[in-house]
Structure 1
Amino acid sequence: MASYDVNSAAVDKAREMIGARQYVLDSDWREAQPSADDENAFLENHTWAEYSSWHLGLTAGANDETKARYGFVLGDLRRIHRSALIACVYRASEWRHKDVELAAHDLLQHLDATSA
């Protein structure tokens, strides 16, 4: 099983976007999450650092500037989704990636407090 480190740049970007109210509170994550084609289109016009900032987890041992390096996407590559944060908490908890789980939980709490 892969091991993940928390991507602090993604945490900072998510907090910034939440503060700027660039989020979606009610979405079906199965429908909203970016597809492989969406990610490829994003990478055609953005840097790997920008792509990375959408992912809460960094796969330990994977090469930078590969999709395998990044996990736990936080939004649709335009806005943070509350449903994405919930999915990150659930998936990280399920696979015992405690640091990622706690980071996603903290972001979810921050989003809920900001949007209340």
Structure 2
Amino acid sequence: MARYEVNDAAVAKARDLIDAHQYVLESDWGLVAPNAEDGNRFLARHTWDEYAAWHLGLTVGASDDTKARHAFVYGDLRRVHRSGLIACVYRAAEWRHKKVEIAAHELLQRLDRTAGIE
């Protein structure tokens, strides 16, 4: 099973987006999650560091400038999606990636506080 470390740059970007109210509260993550083609279009205009900032997990041992290095996408490459954070929490918990799970959970709580969800 792959091992992941928390991508601190992605956590910081997600916090900044949440604080700037750049989020979507209701979406079907299965429909809005970026696919491989979306990632390719993004990478055609942005750097690998910018791409990485949309992924809460980094695959241990994978080369930096590859899609295999990046896991647990939390937004649509423009805004944070609450459903994306929930998916990150769920997937990380399911596969016992505790540090990624906690990072995603903390971001979800921050988003809910910012949005006034009680």
Give TM-score scaled by structure 2 length.
Answer: 0.98
Query: Is 1:55 matched with 2:55?
Result: yes
Shift of residue 9 of structure 1? 0.2
Partner of residue 87, structure 1: 87
Shift of residue 76 of structure 1? 0.4
Deviations 1:11-66 (A, max 9, x none): 00000000000000000000010111000000000000000000000000000010
Structure 1 gaps of 5+ residues are none
Q: What number of residue pairs does the alignment pair up?
A: 116
Matched AA of 2:12: D
Partner of residue 3, structure 2: 3
Give TM-score scaled by structure 1 length.
Answer: 0.99
The list of structure 1 runs, each at least 4 consecutive aligned residues, that deviate by more than 6 angstroms after superposition, is: none
Give the Cα–Cα distance (whole angstroms) in 2 for the partners of residues 30 and 106 of structure 1. Answer: 22
Shift of residue 90 of structure 1? 0.2
Give the Cα–Cα distance (whole angstroms) in 2 for the partners of residues 57 and 15 of structure 1. Answer: 15
Matched AA of 2:10: A
| Pairing 1:14-93 to 2, within 5 Å after superposition | 14-93=14-93
Give the Cα–Cα distance (whole angstroms) in 2 for the partners of residues 35 and 102 of structure 1. Answer: 24
Give the Cα–Cα distance (whole angstroms) in 2 for the partners of residues 26 and 2 of structure 1. Answer: 30
Structure 2 gaps of 5+ residues are none
Give the Cα–Cα distance (whole angstroms) in 2 for the partners of residues 77 and 36 of structure 1. Answer: 12
Matched AA of 1:29: W
